[in-house]
């Protein structure tokens, strides 16, 4: 037994010495090493590191012809196949300086923290920090703009998609476009030119000293195309969508964390804002909760741990202005009148866009989308019926979809006319009541 203990102690002390020597030699090597390492983690304290994404894209596109491992993807049906370098280590040369990139992942494969590590000789320090990194990030951003697959993120825990920090994400494949969006053509033009001005507004926002962001409020009855318009905006600008589910957020600080984890060139959406926030008290509503039956202290505790109106205003104006750029925030509502004026005042929500019942102009777009016709003898009848009937584009679209079931154009339009006539009678009846 004594012998056993002596051997154990001997090995333990030897091991300690070895690890001490190891640590000491690491210090010496680091001290004298001619190499410098710069790390670019994907997230820093939940904040998304924009440089990481740009570097990732740059390295993915770098010297594909020399790569041994490639990843192929078709980001959109309309776009070609995109090949990406799929190697953890990449070498690069810039103005005579040799650098090595390595992608290091810690933790589990799926949720691990990823970091790009850049190693180079100390001699190249000035070139690397002075211009190379800037070059890589700018190149990455411009490649990303051309080939980007738009993503849809949500903070809703019930969706079990691919996670990336606080958000869950999937590829965004909605086919909506402004061309197929049925709305008044002049309103459509107005929205499109506002988006263009925003997209090209970098210098303008800098000049006036305002954060590069814009808020849109989409309002109108159900089925008038609010969600469709968000998809059309995302496709038009090629921005990611962050679908923010307020009811899944426990506090204002969680809301801030989510915000700082969003990337630039993105649209943050809160749908049906009137349903997720009680705007009279500023407390978030929760199904089945009856606050009036709770004691005061409990009420206070609860309201402190929830998203409040002021938390939401801060989200739009406060920190939001300070982090990231090129952000669009969109609220949708079916009940404009229920919203607190503070939330929707111009400056916060820069443009209020009404999506209204189907006009004849909007119908013509739907007829083109679904039936591929520009005119038809029944159009006159549809036009006069639409003038007197409040019907959502979604209901009109539903009638026209029948074409897919091999019902001919005439049959579809006759069906639509009949349903519009029924609807008109119903609405007249209600008015008389």
Ligand X SMILES: Nc1ncnc2c1ncn2[C@@H]1O[C@H](COP(=O)(O)OP(=O)(O)OP(=O)(O)O)[C@@H](O)[C@H]1O
- Contact partners, residue 54, CB within 8 Å, separation at least 6: 136, 137, 138, 139, 140, 141, 144
Give yes or no for residue 226 binding ligand X (CB under 6 A). yes
Min dist. Cβ of residue 125 to ligand X (A): 53
**Burial of 331: CB neighbours in 10 Å, binned 0-12, 13-18, 19+:** buried
Please provide residue 399's backbone torsions phi and psi, each rounded to the nearest 5 degrees. Answer: -70, -35
Min dist. Cβ of residue 159 to ligand X (A): 18
Select the residue whose beta carbon is closest to ligand X and give its number. 225
Min dist. Cβ of residue 319 to ligand X (A): 28
Among 136, 234, 397, 413, binds ligand X (CB under 6 A): 397
Q: What is the DSSP letter of 156?
A: -
Give yes or no for residue 235 binding ligand X (CB under 6 A). no
Among 164, 251, 325, 334, binds ligand X (CB under 6 A): 334
Taking the least distance from each CB to ligand X, the nearer of 334 and 427 is: 334
Taking the least distance from each CB to ligand X, the nearer of 275 and 319 is: 275
8 A C-beta contact, residue 114 and residue 52: yes
E-strand ranges in 175-293 read 213-219, 240-243, 266-270
Among 140, 282, 324, 393, binds ligand X (CB under 6 A): 393
Among 225, 282, 311, 324, binds ligand X (CB under 6 A): 225
d(CA 387, CA 270): 32
Site residue total, ligand X (CB under 6 A): 15
- Nearest alpha carbon to residue 399 among 381, 417, 387, 385: 417
What is the residue whose two structure tokens read 């079931």? Answer: 405
Among 83, 166, 371, 394, binds ligand X (CB under 6 A): 394
- Contact partners, residue 110, CB within 8 Å, separation at least 6: 162, 163
Min dist. Cβ of residue 311 to ligand X (A): 24
Taking the least distance from each CB to ligand X, the nearer of 202 and 335 is: 335
Q: Is 90 left (phi over 0), alpha (psi -120 to 50) or beta?
A: beta
Q: Which of residues 260-319 bind ligand X (CB under 6 A)?
A: none
Taking the least distance from each CB to ligand X, the nearer of 154 and 252 is: 154
Cα dihedral sign, 155-196-207-137:
positive
Taking the least distance from each CB to ligand X, the nearer of 53 and 362 is: 362
Pick the piece of the chain touching ligand X (CB under 6 A) from 154-162, 217-225, 247-255, 296-304.
217-225
**Both tokens of residue 118?**
């850049």
Taking the least distance from each CB to ligand X, the nearer of 130 and 175 is: 175
Helix, strand, coil fractions of the chain, as percent rounded to 5? 50, 20, 30
8 A C-beta contact, residue 52 and residue 117: no
Pick the piece of the chain touching ligand X (CB under 6 A) from 11-19, 124-132, 178-186, 307-315.
178-186
Pick the piece of the chain touching ligand X (CB under 6 A) from 22-30, 47-55, 380-388, 391-399.
391-399
Q: What is the DSSP letter of 101?
A: E
8 A C-beta contact, residue 379 and residue 211: no
First and final C-alpha spacing in the chain: 101
Give yes or no for residue 185 binding ligand X (CB under 6 A). no
Neighbours of 193 (CB within 10 A): 10
Q: Which of residues 24-63 bind ligand X (CB under 6 A)?
A: none
Min dist. Cβ of residue 354 to ligand X (A): 11
Min dist. Cβ of residue 223 to ligand X (A): 5
Min dist. Cβ of residue 231 to ligand X (A): 8
**Both tokens of residue 190?**
């107005």
- Contact partners, residue 96, CB within 8 Å, separation at least 6: none
Min dist. Cβ of residue 366 to ligand X (A): 6
Taking the least distance from each CB to ligand X, the nearer of 300 and 338 is: 338
Pick the piece of the chain touching ligand X (CB under 6 A) from 13-21, 152-160, 188-196, 222-230.
222-230
- Which ranges in 87-181 belong to alpha helices (H)? 125-127, 133-147
Give yes or no for residue 222 binding ligand X (CB under 6 A). yes
Give yes or no for residue 400 binding ligand X (CB under 6 A). no
Min dist. Cβ of residue 193 to ligand X (A): 19
Residues of this chain that bind ligand X (CB under 6 A): 181-183, 222-228, 334, 355, 393-394, 397
């Amino acid at each position: 037994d004594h012998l056993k203990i002596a051997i154990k102690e001997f090995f333990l002390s030897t091991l300690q010495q070895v690890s001490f020597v190891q640590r000491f030699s690491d210090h010496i090597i680091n001290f004298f090493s001619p190499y410098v390492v710069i790390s670019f983690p994907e997230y820093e304290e939940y904040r998304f590191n924009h440089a990481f994404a740009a570097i990732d894209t740059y390295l993915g596109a770098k010297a594909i012809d020399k790569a041994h491992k490639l990843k192929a993807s078709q980001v959109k049906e309309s776009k070609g196949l995109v090949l990406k370098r799929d190697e953890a280590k990449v070498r690069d040369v810039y103005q005579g300086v040799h650098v090595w990139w390595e992608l290091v992942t810690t933790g589990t494969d799926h949720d691990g923290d990823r970091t790009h590590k850049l190693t180079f000789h100390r001699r190249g320090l000035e070139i690397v920090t002075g211009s190379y990194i800037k070059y890589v990030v700018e190149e990455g951003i411009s490649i990303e703009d051309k080939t980007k697959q738009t993503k849809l993120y949500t903070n809703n825990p019930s969706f079990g998609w691919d996670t990336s920090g606080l958000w869950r994400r999937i590829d965004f494949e909605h086919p909506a476009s402004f061309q197929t969006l049925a709305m008044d053509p002049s309103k459509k033009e107005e929205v499109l030119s506002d988006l263009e001005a925003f997209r090209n507004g970098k210098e303008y926002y800098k000049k006036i000293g305002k954060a590069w962001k814009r808020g849109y409020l989409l309002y109108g009855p159900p089925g008038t195309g609010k969600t469709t318009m968000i998809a059309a905006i995302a496709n038009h600008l090629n921005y990611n969508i962050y679908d923010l589910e307020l009811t899944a957020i426990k506090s204002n600080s969680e809301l801030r964390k989510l915000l700082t984890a969003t990337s630039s060139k993105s649209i943050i959406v809160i749908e049906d804002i009137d349903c997720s926030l009680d705007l009279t008290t500023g407390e978030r509503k929760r199904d089945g909760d009856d606050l009036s039956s709770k004691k005061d202290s409990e009420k206070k505790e609860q309201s402190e741990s929830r998203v409040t109106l002021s938390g939401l205003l801060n989200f739009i104006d406060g920190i939001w202005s300070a982090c990231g750029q090129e952000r669009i925030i969109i609220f949708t509502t079916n009940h404009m009148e229920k919203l607190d004026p503070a939330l929707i005042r111009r400056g916060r929500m820069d443009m209020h866009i009404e999506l209204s019942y189907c006009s004849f102009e909007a119908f013509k777009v739907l007829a083109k989308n679904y039936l591929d016709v520009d005119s038809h003898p029944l159009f006159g009848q549809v036009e006069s019926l639409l003038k007197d009937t409040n019907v959502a584009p979604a209901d009109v679209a539903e009638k026209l979809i029948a074409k897919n079931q091999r019902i001919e154009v005439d049959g579809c339009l006759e069906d639509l006319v009949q349903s519009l006539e029924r609807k008109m009678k119903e609405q007249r009846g209600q008015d008389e009541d």
